[in-house]
Amino acid sequence: MSGAREETTQKTGRVASRRFSRIAVEGLSVGIAGEGLYAVGVAENISQGGLKLSGLSPRFQANNFLYRAVVSGGGKTFRLVMKPCWKRPSDGQGVEIGFKVIDAPWEWCEFTNPQIPRA
């Protein structure tokens, strides 16, 4: 896997192989729909290949279905198709869920990759 890097997670101490670097973000809200549900969460970190959402209701099951999401903030909006990878209770209320991005527009790739020159 080209461009892969290893990263040790602070909470578990496990080494995870990531294809794309994570970027900590603030102010990105995510509306997510699937399983006949609609929920809103906050993106804590993003990459070209995934994102971590927090503030989701514990009722959000995150089964192995595909979800449609609208990520918005800073005057930008992106429509993504995502698949949940993991789920855990958050430090506050709700749950945190890690998603793999299955389908995204090119603008998402530009937004999440600081190496791509901006027009």
SS (H, E, C) the chain: CCCCEEEECCCCCCEEEECCCCEECCCCEEEEEECCEEEEEEEEEEECCEEEEEEECCCCCCCCCCEEEEEEECCEEEEEEEEEEEEEECCCCCEEEEEEEEECCHHHHHHHCCCCCCC
Residue 113 pLDDT grade (very low, low, confident, very high; cuts 50, 70, 90): confident
pTM of the predicted model as reported, rounded to 2 decimal places: 0.79
pLDDT 10s digits, 20-43: 778 889 989 999 998 788 999 999
- Of the segments 5-9, 100-104, 114-118, which one has the largest average pLDDT value? 100-104
pLDDT 10s digits, 49-108: 999 999 998 888 888 789 999 999 989 999 999 999 999 998 878 999 999 999 999 999
Which CATH code fits 24-112?
2.40.10.220
Domain boundary assignment for the chain? 24-112
